[in-house]
Amino acid sequence: MKLVESIKESGGFLNRYTHESASCRCSMTFSVFLPPQATDGRVPALYWLSGLTCTDDNFRVKAGAQRYAAEHGIALIIPDTSPRGANVPDVPERYDLGQGAGFYVNATQEPWSTHYHLYDYVTAELPALVEQHLPLIPGVRSISGHSMGGHGALICALKNPGMYRSVSAFAPICHPTECGWGQGCFSAYLGDDKSLWEAYDATCLIRVGASIPEIFIDQGTADEFLLEGQLLPESLAAACQQAEVPLTLRMQAGYDHSYHFIATFIGEHIAWHAQAMA
């Protein structure tokens, strides 16, 4: 784990690291914000998963989250959204498949299956690496994300009961087996057997009994991808109601899919996670 950048911010440090990933078989980059409280003791960690086309840079630059993390004494762990490099498969003419669009699954189909193991990376390799090399982060975790990353946060929490104290999301892809983004990526990464897709679909997971104590979601009503039918929060809400999984779904009037939306409400999400990890 190599430190490549360190920036003083909000009384703490925003660090960027690279390492050779066993899961993704390439060099991976991630960022960590260590709040000022980390100089005196251990701090819990909020993992943030970003959306299509993003890297770790989008959230750490645009969301304004560090000031709230410093206020509550929470570390932020911000991975990349896919493997990258000259030898990593990509579809340059598409923003919704390949590099920048790992979809937080373990790919089983060629040419993706060698490198695209973002699910294992986020839930196993990265936490182990962080907690080994940064002992002030002891393993108390929550998870959140946006769009494709909101989908990732939901499935990581649902598939790993007890691993995260809380889960939230901004405009998540709630039912990827039934939307164009999910169908395009899942068919490429996982093949044509749709029963395999359901293992990475939050709505499907809840329908078959997966459960977590509570889900907290903010969704903008002017989100262009909501209007296009890519996000389908109503499917998740129906599944949660049927399964009696507590869901707070706030429809925020007039907000779109951008980081302006995230920056508006990220403080409330961090405060909510801080209470869960206290």
Active-site residue list: 147, 223, 257
The pair of structure tokens assigned to 213 is 């104590």
Helix axes 259-277, 65-72, angle to 10 degrees: 10
Greatest CA separation found in the chain?
52
- Strand 75-79 versus strand 26-34 pairing type: antiparallel
Phi, psi at 128, each rounded to 5°: -65, -40
Contact 236, 175 (CB under 8 A): yes
Contact 21, 45 (CB under 8 A): no
Contacts of 258 by beta carbon, 8 Å cutoff, 6+ apart: none
> What sign has the CA pseudo-torsion 256, 259, 260, 261?
positive
SS3 for 26? strand
The pair of structure tokens assigned to 132 is 């080994």
Position 71: which residue type?
E
The pair of structure tokens assigned to 52 is 């299509």
